[in-house]
Structure formats: structure tokens, C-alpha cells
Structure 1
Amino acid sequence: MDVAKIEEAITSRTRAIMPVHTFGLPVDMTPVLDLARKHGLTVIEDAAQAIGQTYEGRQCGSFGDISCFSFYANKHIATGEGGMILCDDDALAARARSLRNLCFKPERRFVHEELGWNYRMSNLQAAVGLAQFEKLDAHIARKRELGRRYESLLRGVRGIELAPVACVYADNIYWVFGLVLDESVPIDADEARAMLAEAGVSARPFFWPMHEQPVFLKQGLFEGERYPVAERMSRRGFYLPSGLALTEAQQDQSVAAVRNMLATFL
């Protein structure tokens, strides 16, 4: 998110700002919070990919009026699926608990005045998550070790851009190790990933922009809007294997595959 461009996107219909900490570094939250106060907006902080990451020394997920976390299988704490919502507002917390539990009426369990969902986490999932939480610091240290080794092996390679190791308010947590093809490479990320797959390396795509999602376009949202940074990253970005169990030999294989793929064109 380019926080310098948020204000120009705010309209009379805007109700919230949803910053998403992605690919290892957090959003610059101070100006986001300032804008939210100025315009009376709610901040919904997506910290799904930033469990254990900090912004200016404070935990990501502690800034939003509502903060969201994911425990999907590739997150720093994984329960297979599911997630967590945090907030400081008792009424909002009660509302979220009701919605996640089918909106049962407190006084009459099987009577519903509105529709809710079954988003309840099982005891087994919770036990797995709590056990992983005890290892969070070790998991983050391992992710950073993997990310910094990738960075040292790929630093200076022509044709790719790497994420910063750090910025002024955070060190990269390397949830994943992403890279972006620059314009000198005459293929897109999908074609690059196909070439890497032939070399035995499974690379995953970056996320696709919200303003280009068919489900929203069908609803008449984002019509005519352009977000060139998100568009470029989604088409030219991908990330390399970066699971906690990755070995140096597997990293070396990934790096060699990237170098050989680029050598085809440069």
C-alpha cells in the first residue's frame, strides 16, 4: 500500500482503511492511523502474514480497530486453516463472536434473528496453534535465516528485484521470499514459474489485485480504476520455496534454477 495515495481514494462512501502487511514488511502505519482519525474511518489491519512482525517495535496486529490473523498452513503459526480477530471494543468483540457462532440468541440458543456463520475453531486446532505459538520466535528466526541467505545468493543478479532486507520501521520477517522480474526479462511471472517447475522448483504467484478480481468487477466496483504497482507485482512477481524445513541444498537448487532461467534471456 502506497500510503501517500490513500487520501485521494477516500470518498463519501469510504468506511474503513484496510492496510495489509505483506511479503515480510509492514505497512507504514502512522500516516494510516492519522488519516483514519482525520476522516473518522475504521482501520481493519490485516496481519495474516505478519504474525510476530513489528512496526517501530510494536507488534503488527495491535494497531487496527479490528486486526485479522491467519493460521493457514504456510503462516508462522499454523492450525491448517482458520484465524483470529482482535479488537479492544467489547461490543464489537461480542458482535464478532456472535457472527462466528451462527448468531445464536444468548437466551434461546436455536432461535436466530439474523444469519451468522460457523467459524468456530476446534479444540484440536487450538491445541496445535498454542503449541506453535511457543515456537514462534524460533520460526521467525529460521525464516529470517532463509530469507537472508536467499538475498545474499541472489543479490546483484540481473533481471530481478528483491525485497528490502529492512526499512526504517522494520526488518524483513521473510514470511516468504519474493522477487519481481524487471522489464528487461521478456516473460511474465507465470512463464517464469513454468520454467522453474521444469527445473524441479515450485514457485508460487503473488496475489492478484482486488480491483481486477472478477467478483468485484461484476458488482460494479473498481470500474476504470488503476493501481499500477499492484498490477505490475501480480504479473511479474513470484516467491521461491521458503518452508521452515527447507535445506541449503534445496535453496541452492532454487537459486540455480532462477539464474539459469534468467540466463536464457539476458
Structure 2
Amino acid sequence: MNIPISIPDLSGKEFDYLLDAFSSTWISSRGKYIDAFEREFAVFCECNSGIAVSNGTAALHLALVALGIGEGDEVVVPDMTFAATINAVLHARAIPVIVDIEKDSWCIDPREIEKAITPKTKAIIPVHLFGQPCDMAAIMNIANRYNLYVIEDCAQAHGARYNGKKVGSFGNIGCFSFFGNKVITTGEGGMCVTNDSHLDGRLRLLRDHGMSRTKKYWHECIGYNYRMTNLQAAIGLAQLERVESILKKRSKIESDYRDYFAGNQSIEFQRNDINLTEKITWLVCILVDLKKRDFIIEKLKGYGIDIRPFFYSLSSMPIYNQYKFSSRNSEEVSQRGINFPTNYMVTESILSDIGKLLSVN
């Protein structure tokens, strides 16, 4: 048995579009698929502009630089997130400030954000962790009162909503990842979305070496090569055409897990009933007894079932600990968390196997 944590769904027009892009010879960072993917993804996110980039980390770094955040500036980030969030801040030469998460949502705690604000604070990066939207009403209220930028990290939350509005459309810039295990994929890739026309221009300038869009080889600023290829965008556009279907399939997989393990008091699923939020299923997430977590993971891996621990809390790692402001809830969630395989191979038989293995101490 070999059940991976995630499998990209490439059953649509991905190969057709990829072959078309290849045959056109527009295989680098220009072409019709780049334009179409940017346009259609912005529509999906209910934003005015989409700027395709090479990966999700590049999207975060580009957003920080476009907003003028740099040396000496503080940026508030959650303790529970993939390291790309904090690394992007450090790449921008800014100072990350790590704050705790809410116990229920596992997302950044607005109360801790406000406590951590100093005269040097310039931005907040709320991470919609595992498809769960952050409390964007509270976060935007704080940002408005303290005149702070908001960069949404939506790498795991394509299509999630808060109070009926898509994540990525609340802050100054929303950042997405299209890595192979994400809801939709381009293999590697990312996207910045924004409703600000000035930021749209700034992001595009910085993405392409800082080169003028009207005067070839004239560089207006020091930029980066953060471009997506037309080949990647071809795959992304085909994925995007089926994103609602993909989201429904992932949601059904999570429902199957919930139904199968209903009544199992040793498992605590990610909350899906938090007020005003409409989470999506990225990976099926549970909490188990801290003392049993690692044993469960190794046991299921031994049977070819790829279940994974949650991310380490940022503050638990020596290279980031100096930036910690608060971390109580994140430490517990990190140490108890498990991601189940979330793909079409998870059948009733596989659920039964997982259930049997979990029931054996």
C-alpha cells in the first residue's frame, strides 16, 4: 500500500494547454496563458489584478518589497505557519514578530497582534492556515487603526471565504502558492492579487528585474526574476477551470473522514463551524494526544500511509526563536497535529485501515 499525502488532479485540459503552449514556442515568461491565468485567477479571488510569480515565497517577498517594507521595519506573523512566511520577511531585511494563534481556529490571534505592535510595526501577515480563514474583521480593524499594511498568506486557502468575501481580497496584497500539493497547481508557482492599481504596477515592475514596461532594458529599480512561465500558466489555467470541482472533491474527502471517525473521542478535527468563516479543505487536519502523535505517524507510515505532522511552531526552532512574542497555543497545536492523506485514493477501505491502525495502542 502506498497512499501519498496529496496527488494533483490533472484530469482536465492540463496536457492540451501545456502542449499548445509548447507548440507556440512561447515557453518562457510571456504568452497568452500567462495573461489568461492572471486575469481569471484575479476574478476567482474577487480582485482587480493578478500578478503571476515563480512560487508562493516569491509572492510574499515581492509583496513586502512592493509595499516598501525593509530594514528596521517590524512585520507581525503567526507562530504556526510554513517557514516561507517568516523567511520572506527576513529576505526583505525586515524584523519578524512571531505571535500566538487562536486555540479554536489555529490562525493568528488578533489580540496578540495588537499587543505586539510597536512604533516600528509596518505590516501584518495573517496566514489562512490549512484552509481556515483568519478573523479578517478584527485584523483589518487593527490595521486601519494603526495604519498598517496587510499581506494575506493564502497559500493553503484558495477559495476560502470570510463573511462571504474571498481570502486574498481583504488586505493590500494577497499571496497564493501553486506548489504540487496545493488546491490547484502549476508544479511550482504563485500569484499576488490586489485591488490597488499602483501596487499592480509596482509588483509587475519588481517581478521583471525592475525593467520599465514601456522602455525595454531601462531599469527603474533593483528588481527580481520572479516570473512564471507560459508553460506553468497553461497548467494553472486548466486547473482553475475546474477549481470548484476540485474543492468539492476535497471537501467530500474530509466529510468521509469526519463521518468515519464520528464519535472517536481521541481525534479532534479542524473546526469547520467558526462564525463568519467558510474554510476549504487543503489537507484533512486532526489533533491527537500529544504522547501518541509521533507513534501514530510512524505506525501508519509503516503501512505506506503518508500522514504528516503539523509544521513546527516557528518559535520552537533556534533560527527563529529570537523573534518570538507569544506562542502558548501554537506549541500545543503543533505538537498534537496530524495531516491525513487528502486525495482520490482515500476510499472507504483505506479509511477502515486507518481506523484499525489508530485503534491499536
Shorter-normalised TM range: 0.7 to 0.9
The alignment's C-alpha RMSD in Å is 2.1
CA–CA distance in structure 2, aligned partners of residues 127 and 246 of structure 1: 28
Is contact 2:267–2:288 with CA below 8 Å preserved after alignment? yes
1:87 Cα shift?
1.3
Q: Secondary structure at the match of 2:192?
A: strand
Aligned to 2:187: 80
Aligned to 1:238: 338
Aligned to 2:204: 97
1:172 Cα shift?
3.5
Please tell me whether residue 35 in structure 1 is matched to residue 139 in structure 2: no
| 1:189-228 paired onto structure 2 within 5 Å | 189-217=293-321, 220-222=322-324, 225-228=325-328
Q: What's the % identity of the aligned pairs?
A: 36
Summarize the Cα distance change of 1:251–1:79 in structure 2 as closer, same or farther, 3 Å threshold: farther
CA deviation vs aligned residue, 1:236-266 (integer Å, no higher than 9, x gap): 2110100245333233323332233xxx1xx
CA–CA distance in structure 1, aligned partners of residues 266 and 359 of structure 2: 9
Aligned length: 254
Q: Which runs of 4+ in 1 moved over 3 A?
A: 105-115, 212-217
1:122 Cα shift?
0.9
1:117 Cα shift?
2.2
Aligned-partner residue type, residue 323 of structure 2: L
1:221 Cα shift?
2.6
Q: Secondary structure at the match of 2:120?
A: coil
CA–CA distance in structure 1, aligned partners of residues 347 and 334 of structure 2: 28
Is contact 1:74–1:243 with CA below 8 Å preserved after alignment? no
Aligned to 2:271: 164
CA deviation vs aligned residue, 1:141-169 (integer Å, no higher than 9, x gap): 11111101101212332333211232221
Please tell me whether residue 16 in structure 1 is matched to residue 123 in structure 2: yes
Structure with the bigger RCO (C-alpha within 8 Å, sep 6+) is 2
Summarize the Cα distance change of 1:113–1:62 in structure 2 as closer, same or farther, 3 Å threshold: closer
CA deviation vs aligned residue, 1:32-57 (integer Å, no higher than 9, x gap): 11111011011111111111111111
Aligned-partner residue type, residue 343 of structure 2: G
Is contact 1:139–1:244 with CA below 8 Å preserved after alignment? no
CA deviation vs aligned residue, 1:99-153 (integer Å, no higher than 9, x gap): 2212224466446565432221111111111111111111111111110110121
CA–CA distance in structure 2, aligned partners of residues 63 and 146 of structure 1: 29
Aligned to 1:56: 163
Summarize the Cα distance change of 1:132–1:106 in structure 2 as closer, same or farther, 3 Å threshold: closer
The equivalent position to 1:178 in structure 2, one of 285, 304, 319, is 285
| 1:62-141 paired onto structure 2 within 5 Å | 62-106=169-213, 109-110=216-217, 112=219, 114-141=221-248
